[in-house]
Amino acid sequence: MDAVLALGANLGDAAATVQQAVRQLGQTPGIEVTGVSPVARTRAVGGPAGQPDYLNLVVTVATRLSPKELLAAGQGIEQAHHRTRDVRWGPRTLDIDVITYGDLRSDDPVLTLPHPRAHTRAFVLAPWSWLDPEAVLSGARVADLAGQADDAGSVTRLPSAEDGHGDEVNEHGETGEADETAAGPSV
């Protein structure tokens, strides 16, 4: 089954954390990382005031895990990065959300699918649209939803290895040095 996961962090070394989390997802039995979006820097949405900015990205996976097993795998990775759940929408070392699981719709309180707030959050939608410009969520183009989200103005795409800057995690969960001769715009 194909699924979309959103990752975010705003405590500690957020860049290293999200990169490690992608790698850990790819190393989890039953999960194959098939795509990794560019990283976005975003303001915190909701929760306590004064939080540091988040680094967010989206990964697509092919999985043999059930939706709840996929959620549990993500929560296990969160726990490995010392995630706590003290304050709703508070700062965190790592957050991994299951956004979609194929076309499955579920109102299960443990895992609602598609994610109940994803369609309003540019910090999920923008990176997803960068990874897959044709992506659709509940019948609407993800790129269109990203532009309409209340937090659309807070999303900044960070330079990636494809732009000729920095390290990036590939679809196999591996990092590689950027080719400094690569041409491409920094956005």
**Would you name the residues annotated as active-site residues?**
83, 92, 95, 97
Contacts 24+ apart (CB under 8 A), 16-21: 17/81, 17/93, 17/94, 18/55, 18/56, 18/57, 18/94, 19/167, 19/169, 19/175, 20/81, 21/77, 21/81, 21/94, 21/96
Please count the residues of the chain: 187
Spatial CB neighbours of 122, under 8 Å, sequence gap ≥ 6: 42, 146, 147, 149, 150, 151, 152, 154, 155
Return the H-helix or E-strand segment holding 140: strand 140-141
Token pair 């929760």 in the structure block, residue: 47
Contacts 24+ apart (CB under 8 A), 132-137: 132/35, 132/60, 135/4, 137/99, 137/100
